[in-house]
A and B are shown apart, each in its own frame.
Chain A
Amino acid sequence: EIVLTQSPGTLSLSPGERATLSCRASQSVSSNYLAWYQQKPGQAPRLLIYAASSRATGTPDRFSGSGSGTDFTFTISRLEPEDFAVYYCQQYGNSLWTFGQGTKVEIK
């Protein structure tokens, strides 16, 4: 099983600032099959990024993903008030899909 470790656990930022989240895998993620999700309180998660860097339909372009192998990064270029939420990475490179533990982006 591939273990995904997200850092930091919590990110305290102000609207308009840049957010950079990390997701590190315990072994290489096949074909960069890594996705990012956003979850707001009381809501289901929402897919934002797949294949490490491809935006899902409807994802604003202030959200971006990058990386390969074992190190992946998710960036929000300028935080909007609605972006404060928990973000999860997920790998689907093998048939035992796993999630990271999440990074909470909170208002400073």
Chain B
Amino acid sequence: EVQLVESGGGLVQPGGSLRLSCATFRFTFRNYWMTWVRQAPGKGLEWVANIKPDGSDRYYVDSVKGRFTISRDNAENSLFLQMNSLRAEDTAVYYCVRGGGGIDYWGQGTLVTVSS
């Protein structure tokens, strides 16, 4: 079965940086768009960014543009999210999700807490 495993979350001070990783298994990673979705505590889902299979196109929600960078390593079947200039409002569980439009399989999520 398809599996996605996020890592890299944790506690970071405002203005700090964090890099999330997503290891993927049991599908042909290089053929799929990939997406990051986040969920603030007690809130709904928010689409964050996605990336084309070859990495040539990337899209972001306005609130993270210029601060977050989505990337991938097709040789390692891995997805990344580099998060800089973090703010309290970035506190959320971050999910790695397969697909770019009709996203289907989700990881279990990794919690990012931005607090001093």
A and B from one complex: no
Interface residues of B (CB under 8 A from A): none
Interface residues of A (CB under 8 A from B): none
